[in-house]
Amino acid sequence: MPRLTSGGTRDERVIAEECPVALVFDGTTMAVLMATPSDLTDLALGFSLTEGLIEDPGEIEELSVVPGVDGIELRTWLRPRAGRRLKDRRRQLVGPTGCGLCGIESLAEANRMHCTVVRQISLTPEQIRAAVERLSAAQVLNHATRATHAAGFFQPGHDGMILREDVGRHNALDKLAGALASQGLSGRTGAVILTSRISVEMVQKAAAIGAGIVVAVSAPTALAIRTAEASGLTLIGIARGSDFEIFSHLAGVRR
C-alpha cells in the first residue's frame, strides 16, 4: 500500500489484511470475526474445539471455505451427535479483533471452566527463552507488517515451531489449535507461546486443547491467573530474554 513517511518519502508498505469471517455451523452463523484471511480451515477447526462446539475433529462431517462479496464464510457441517449438542447450547457471538467474549448469553458462560489439564512436560529457563526467540523469528507476516499476533507450539527436543498468525490474538490461538488437531498433536506434548497479553479466554482456549503450559511476552490478567490455577495450567508471563515470571503451578518450570 502507498504511504508517506514523516521524512516526506513516498513508497509502499506491506499491510496486514483483515476481513469479516463468518463461522457457520449446520447452516447457522455462530460467530463473525474480523480475521486475517489465511489458514481459515485451521481457524474453523480450532474455534470449534476451543469453544466446545466439538470434542474432536471427527465430529466434523464437512468443512468448506466460501468467499463472498461481503466476506468469507467457513461452513461446517457436524455429525448428528455433535449437531444435537450444538443446538442445546446455541448462541450468537460477534467477535471483533479485540474482543473474545462478545455476545455470550450469561455470566456463567463468561466464567466457564474447562476440564483440568494434565501437564506432561516441564520447561527449563533456557527452553522458555528459546521458545520465545523461536516464536519471534518465525513471525513472517508480522515481520512484514508489524500488525499481527502469533501463537506457537513449542515441543522440547523438537526443532522448529508450529505457528499461526492473525490480526486477532484469539484467532491466532484458534488457528494454532486447528493446526495441532489436523496434525494429530496433543497440546499436552508442548507449550503454547503467545505474543499477546494473557486474558482469561486465552487460558480457556489453551486448556481446551490440553496445553499444560502457556508462555507469553506480556502479563496475564488476575482472572487468567485464577483460571490457570484452577485448571492445573502453568502460566508464564513477561517472558523477554532470560527474564520471565511464573504465576501459577510452579512445577511446570524446572531449574
**Residues noted as catalytic:** 99
Sheet with 28-35, side-by-side order of all strands: 60-67, 72-78, 19-25, 28-35, 93-95
Give me the torsion for CA of 207, 49, 37, 150, rounded to 10°.
Answer: 10
Check residue 34 and give left, alpha or beta (phi > 0: left; psi -120 to 50: alpha): beta
DSSP 8-class letter at 116: P
